[in-house]
Structure 1
Amino acid sequence: MPAAPPSTAIDDYLKTIYHHTEWQSDPVTPSQLAATLGLAPSTVTEMVQKLAAAGFVTHRPYGPVSLTDAGRVRAASIIRRHRLIETWLVREFGYAWDEVHDEAEVLEHAISDRLLEGISARLGHPTRDPHGDPIPDAAGAVERDPFVLLVAAPLGHTGRVLRVSDRDPGLLRALEGVGIDVGHTVTVLEGGAVRVDDGASIPLPDAAASAVWLTI
């Protein structure tokens, strides 16, 4: 019998699959998984087969990969850890929102369930992390408002910033510099510009339109 994959490897795959469909509906393919994780396609194919055998994903050859109910619960559990830790670091230790991701990647595997729930209680059981991503509850459930990606929002649309992608720390700093943060109101203007909280028209930083989600 082949050795079971390490727990952290399972979690990394399940998180990546979960993230891919969290803000859009197209399922992830093995090649997309390989690109996101920085791994060889053959390595990903082998791991996906192991995850399928363990009941965490469904997959057919050359097709997309989807989480099973068990896979979704496990993915939500580790994402809950990650996002609670990010929120804790920002609120309690003064980290900026562009500094917390890598720290949380390490700590999410290290803290106990008891400490995690203590952190949640101390923070008042938050439902969103510093980037606006929903924090699953202990059962894995999340609440998400209807949304539109900024690049797809029509001219004149006004919405509250619901979520900002945390993939690029430099972009997070640029957005913060022009006042685009979770909870602020953004109106879409012509020429790649926006108005924030009824202020003056400002140009969007590069790549921002594909990294900001607004309420509908």
Structure 2
Amino acid sequence: MRSEAVEDFVKAVYMLQQEHELVPTTLLAQTLDITPPSVTDMAKKLSDTERLHEPLLVVKPYRGVRLTPLGEQVALEVLRHHRLLELYLVEALGYSWDEVHEEADRLEHHISERFEARIAEVLGNPVIDPHGDPIPTLEGKLPGQEHLQPLSDWPQDKPGVVVRFLDQAPEKLQYLEEKGLKPGTIIQITKREPFDGLTHVLIDSILHVLSQSTTQSILIAEPR
């Protein structure tokens, strides 16, 4: 049975691999809030071909680490648990979307595959979590979201539907919810300021002004 520390480690590597071909150990230490020597020790354990029949990690000295195919499989399994739990906490237990991440972080290591399957069935086998993040399938595949664009790149005066939020800090989610922004919200850019990156948007017939960092972290698509 894998430890929580191992599952947290491979999940963090997987998430960082979306932007880094090789994940720097210093970045892993910062993400996991552990010391660089602790990262080095864990990386050695998970890449030890003598101790492990199938290592979870490949270490490139002085360059970084990446997951093996088995490591990716483990990370996606943990990610599936996490995102299903987030949605279950919102849909079944009445949690708000800004308070589910930490709860799911604690619970994701302890649910059985049977319980995971039951949650998925009760929720109707969902494909996204409350923040619009894709939920890995049972087969370890991540649904594609290549059709999504940042709101910062979306054409002016063209309606779009909000799908995903990349910045999931609780205070940021509360701020967005106050403006009526959730997955499924229809949004339209009415004006872009030329110098400071501020964007004027229409949400439920109400005008709001969003910062550049906010529009870059909201992914939208064509309404269906």
TM range (shorter): 0.7 to 0.9
- Find the counterpart in structure 2 of residue 92 from structure 1: 92
- Find the counterpart in structure 2 of residue 212 from structure 1: 218
Spell out the pairing of 1:47-126 with structure 2 (5 A cutoff): 47-53=42-48, 54=52, 55-126=55-126
* 1:93 match: secondary structure: coil
- Find the counterpart in structure 1 of residue 131 from structure 2: 131
**Alpha-carbon offset, residue 210 of structure 1:** 4.1
What's the % identity of the aligned pairs?
34
- Find the counterpart in structure 2 of residue 15 from structure 1: 11
Q: Does the aligned pair in 1 maintain the 2:131–2:168 contact within 8 Å? A: no
**Alpha-carbon offset, residue 214 of structure 1:** 2.5
Give the aligned residue type for 1:163. R
**Alpha-carbon offset, residue 114 of structure 1:** 0.9
- Find the counterpart in structure 2 of residue 179 from structure 1: 180
Quick one: structure 1 residues 52 and 215, their matched pair in 2 at CA, closer, same or farther if it must change by over 3 Å? farther
* 1:213 match: secondary structure: strand
Q: Does the aligned pair in 1 maintain the 2:17–2:66 contact within 8 Å? A: no
Within 2, Cα distance between the matches of 1:198 and 1:93? 27
Provide, for residues 39-93 of structure 1, a one-character-per-residue CA deviation record: whole Å limited to 9, x for no partner: 1112111211222224112221111322111011000001100111111111111
* 2:92 match: secondary structure: helix
Quick one: structure 1 residues 52 and 104, their matched pair in 2 at CA, closer, same or farther if it must change by over 3 Å? same
| Match of residue 41, structure 2, among 46, 49, 60 | 46
Give the aligned residue type for 1:215. A
Q: Does residue 165 in structure 1 map to residue 171 in structure 2?
A: no
**Alpha-carbon offset, residue 186 of structure 1:** 3.2
Quick one: structure 1 residues 158 and 48, their matched pair in 2 at CA, closer, same or farther if it must change by over 3 Å? farther
**Alpha-carbon offset, residue 198 of structure 1:** 6.8
Within 1, Cα distance between the matches of 2:128 and 2:94? 17
* 1:10 match: secondary structure: helix
Deviates more, 1:98-107 or 1:189-198: 189-198
Unmatched runs of 5 consecutive residues or more in structure 2: none
Within 2, Cα distance between the matches of 1:51 and 1:123? 34
**Alpha-carbon offset, residue 212 of structure 1:** 1.8
Unmatched runs of 5 consecutive residues or more in structure 1: none
Q: Does the aligned pair in 1 maintain the 2:199–2:211 contact within 8 Å? A: no
| Match of residue 190, structure 1, among 183, 189, 192 | 192
Within 2, Cα distance between the matches of 1:154 and 1:47? 42
Greater radius of gyration (CA)? 2
Quick one: structure 1 residues 186 and 27, their matched pair in 2 at CA, closer, same or farther if it must change by over 3 Å? farther
Within 2, Cα distance between the matches of 1:49 and 1:176? 43
Within 1, Cα distance between the matches of 2:45 and 2:160? 42
Within 1, Cα distance between the matches of 2:170 and 2:134? 19
Q: Does the aligned pair in 2 maintain the 1:56–1:70 contact within 8 Å? A: yes
Q: Does the aligned pair in 2 maintain the 1:134–1:142 contact within 8 Å? A: yes
Within 2, Cα distance between the matches of 1:46 and 1:115? 33
Give the aligned residue type for 1:190. R
Give the aligned residue type for 1:90. V
Quick one: structure 1 residues 155 and 122, their matched pair in 2 at CA, closer, same or farther if it must change by over 3 Å? closer
